[in-house]
Structure 1
Amino acid sequence: MKRILAIFGIICLTLFFPMEGVSQQKVRKVVIDAGHGGKDPGAVGKYSKEKDIALSIALKTGNYIQKNLPDVEVIYTRKTDVFVELHNRARIANDNEADLFISIHCNANNSSKPYGTETYVMGLHKSQANLEVAKLENAAILKEEDYSDMYDGFDPSRDEDYITLTLFQNAHLESSLILASTVQDQFRERAGLKDRGVWQAGFWVLYKTAMPGILVETGFLSNANDEKYLRSDDGQSYIASAIYRAFKEYKLMIEDPGNRATMAIDQQPIVKDEIVFRVQFASSSKEKSLNKFKEIDDVRVYRHNGTYKYTSGNLTSFSEAIKLQNKIRGLKKYSDAFIVAFENEERIDVDEARELTGQ
């Protein structure tokens, strides 16, 4: 599939070496983190708040685990509508020496079009859309007193702060990716939800937890259908059941060395490929030298339907692509320049690209 990048190196390491030294590991403690709470509502839909839906799904998920896996201790970062600082969420997981951390959230976007589920692991964002999701969830920091001192000057609103944050090398990345992929499989195959894939971004709470961890975006409160589903008891139960089933599969893989290699191959942990926008300004039946377009920066060529087509830019922001389009149209001979979109270097519909990136 064009959107999937199999992380081959991770699979090889998993096959030939004990994954993160877990040959004798048992999954006995899981921390379930309901995002936001109290004075921090999180994303706000027309009829609901993220903090309420996340808590309900978190409690249902924990109940499934406790009922069906009695050997697992479930620890919650909150069980009521209270505000819990991000650093305390991480501390709860670390102090309890948890084996896994699952943070449950709801997404939102300025557009009402995006819908579906995403699961994140700690890592470097590949697009502005990924960064914006991390900013949205990390913004809870700003509601804390003396947050600058507590978080070593990290400001969740500053793009540049995420560069430093994501330089952190997550020692549990492969385990986190496998769990994230399993969650998305369950959402798609068992719950029938739109799978928007596995992503990486700089979430502070994942950065500070000393165990494999994921952050699950269960749907968009900015989308009417998603919000209706997320507000319903059935919808919340389906989502919680999917997360539980993914946890159960992950636990089986970790605890049974015989399953580990097989499941690692089956899961193929994935990360969504970057979607970019470019401005197409010329085409020809025969390939031309890029030097012919000296007045335009960052020129690329691709072949589509037997024709050579020339583009400028490689942008993750659609609004920036519009600016570039207008600039190129200002050159009279390129007045019909237009925006095109690519995913994994394959051209896709611009509307699809905007929907996938929430723009």
Structure 2
Amino acid sequence: MFKLYLDPGHGGNDPGATGNGLKEKNVTLDIALRIRDILNNEYHNIEVNMSRTTDTFVSLDQRTNEANSWNADYFLSIHCNAFNGSAYGYEDYIYSGLSETSQTAHYQTIMHHEILDVNELTDRGKKQANFHVLRESVMPALLSENGFITNADNAAKLANSSYRQKIARGHVNGLERAFNLQKVSSATLYKVIAGSFKKRQNADERVTYLDSKGIPSFISETTVSGDTWYRVQAGAFSKRSNAEQRLTEVKNAGIQDAYILGYQGDESGVSGYSIFGTMFLSPEQMDYFVRTVNPDAPTLGTYYLAFGRYYGLRGDVAFAQAVHETNYFRFTGVVNEEQNNFAGIGATGPDNPGASFDTPREGVLAHMQHLYAYATKKPLLEKYQLIDPRFELVQRGSAEKWEDLNGKWAVPGDQYGQMILGLYEDMVNASIIQLQNVLNQIKV
């Protein structure tokens, strides 16, 4: 278990540096809360204790005494700089009594590099000082100075919540490298999406509004059917219950088009995305997605729904797999359209294009039977005849999750399952955007 003591500088009646409409105490608290949330939501075996989580005054002695008694592994103090308006850039500090070969100095080098890699600031160097929090903390400690509030350019960056998210991410990246932190699989995260916009300005306005309500968020770009969308993300959680709590906060703030985008795993957040499970997308949503790319694609959503429900499999994700295997049913690989082989079963190259099936319905049935063979050792349910010619050749139960198909369904395919899940996320995005467009038309 890694224990981080996170210290947002200043607070309460101590505003810290001021300039360009900003107060250091507010900026540092926002960055620190973002660091805490990223660590808690995206990493295993993390404990974070903060010197303050609101705008309150905490003495320097209180900060170091609490960290020491808690036996923290690392003390990280977040600050911003101030001078005469001309100074700018990033720097960080360790205690001046330490050598350059100390463990603390080693951590500083890693943190310094990772933070600078994302914060878009000039490098003012790794430094040492006799600051109280560095001197009196018994564990390795770092104080980061994240730009100059008194510099107009630095302050403009710090005023932007998406930029503060970058700073937080840089600190987390440094902690991950320095302490070998283990991330939760991205396929198990539940993301709270508080709006998707074609115009960046609209996304910026949504982030600013959420920020005014005390809800940290940032913008991520995603491409759906060739179009760029600016998606406002208000958290990513390994537990669905935590995501639902954040979703409630967002909706209480008046954002009614917010939703959860995520994958089913167990509550530990480490199981990955099971091949078995409940379907979320309708046949119409599946077919709509593929036809935005290939208008001539066959309508197979009904088959994936029916056979998915019968075998208890995620038929909508299997549809995404078919989209991947057939290049949106354009059949640009070794399998041709007449084979109705949407899963590439048995296809190994131009000389062996794999199995063929009489109808599209049978092609989908064979696909779902092949997935069933990988996902469980249980006997095949008897309602439908076995038509998958390679069912008995599969190592039964060797791939309970989509990521487990890596190197099995596709060789070498070390990212095969992740590519399928990425396509599935695009399908979900497309269905949400389609729904939003319908709602907007109704409002008009």
TM-score, normalisation: structure 2: 0.39
Q: Which has the higher strand share?
A: 1
TM-score, normalisation: structure 1: 0.49
